[in-house]
Amino acid sequence: MLRVLSLLFVVPFLVSVSHAEVKTKKIAYEHGDAKLEGVLAWDDSIEGKRPGVLVVHEWWGLNDYAELRAKELAKLGYVAFALDMYGKGQVTTHPSQAGEWAGKIRENTQEWRERALAGLDVLKKQDNVDTANMAAVGYCFGGSTVLQLAYADAPLKGVVSFHGALVPPTEIEKIDSSVLVCHGASDSFIPAEQVQTFEKEMQAIDADYQLVSYGGARHGFTNPDAGNFGIENLKYDENADKRSWSLMQSFFGELFPKKK
C-alpha cells in the first residue's frame, strides 16, 4: 500500500514537470546593411508577460555558449534574446578573426551602441516580455557592450558584465541603469589601472554600481571552453562561474521584485 501511495504522489509531479519546456527560435533582423540573426529563449509553461534579458556574446560571435546562457535565463523565468553583433553566421574560434570583428564594432561608439539597441528592440517586440522590466548581460566583448547600453540610456533596469572590458562612462553625466560587474582579479587583459579608472568615473557620476572581483579568476572564467583557445589568460573557473551567476540572480531579484 505504501508503494502505491508513493507512486500516486510522484506521478502527478512528473506529469506537471513534463509540461515545462524551454523553447527557442531564431529571429532575423537588420541594422543598417547588416543582416543579423539572434536566438530567443523562453519557458512556454509560464503564462503572461515576464522580464526580458538581452544576452550579448563574447568576441567569438553568437555561438552555442551565448545560446546556452539564454536558455539558462529562460529556465529562471525570463524571456532571453541572444543578439547578434556581427552578422548571420559570423562565428569563429580564431582569436585574430574575433579581434578583427570586435575591433571593427568598437571603432565607432555610436554605431556600437546602435547595433546593440537593434537587438534590444527585437526583445522589446516579443508579446511575452514586460518592457518595463528588462536587463542585459554580456560576456567579454559582450560585457563592454552592455556597459555601452547603460551609457546610451537604454530602457534597462540593470546590466551585468561578466569578465568584460571596463569601458568608463566618458562624457556621461548620469546613467539610470544599475550596473553589476563580475571581474576576474587575475585577468591580465584588464589591468588594475583600468579598474581604478572605471570605478573613479562611475563614482563621479554617482552611478549605482557594484564591482566584484573573483580571486585567481582570469578572462573568460564563466565559459567551460575558455581554455581551448590557446591563450594563457583564458581559463574557466568553476567557483567564479557559479558565484557570479548566483550574484546575477540576486541582482535581478532586486531589479524585478516579485509581486505579492
CA distance 71 to 40: 8
pTM attached to this predicted model:
0.91
pLDDT score recorded for residue 158: 98
CA distance 194 to 150: 18
What is the average pLDDT score of the chain?
92
pLDDT score recorded for residue 258: 79
Residue 202 lies in a domain: yes
Chain centroid, CA 228 distance in Å: 21
Residue 80 lies in a domain: yes
Q: 193: domain range?
A: 20-255
CATH number of the domain within which 25 lies? 3.40.50.1820
Residue 93 lies in a domain: yes
Q: Assess whether pLDDT exceeds 60 at residue 13.
A: no
Residue 15 lies in a domain: no
Domain count, the chain: 1
Residue 72 lies in a domain: yes
Which residues, in sequence order, are CB contacts of 36 under 8 Å at separation 6+?
A: 28, 29, 30, 83, 84, 87, 88, 118, 119
192: pLDDT confidence band, cut at 50, 70 and 90? very high
237: pLDDT confidence band, cut at 50, 70 and 90? very high
Residue 11 lies in a domain: no
Mean pLDDT calculated for residue range 41-66: 97
Residue 8 lies in a domain: no
Mean pLDDT calculated for residue range 202-219: 98
Residue 46 lies in a domain: yes
pLDDT score recorded for residue 260: 55
Tens-place pLDDT, residues 55-110: 999 999 999 999 999 999 999 999 999 999 999 999 999 999 999 999 999 999 99
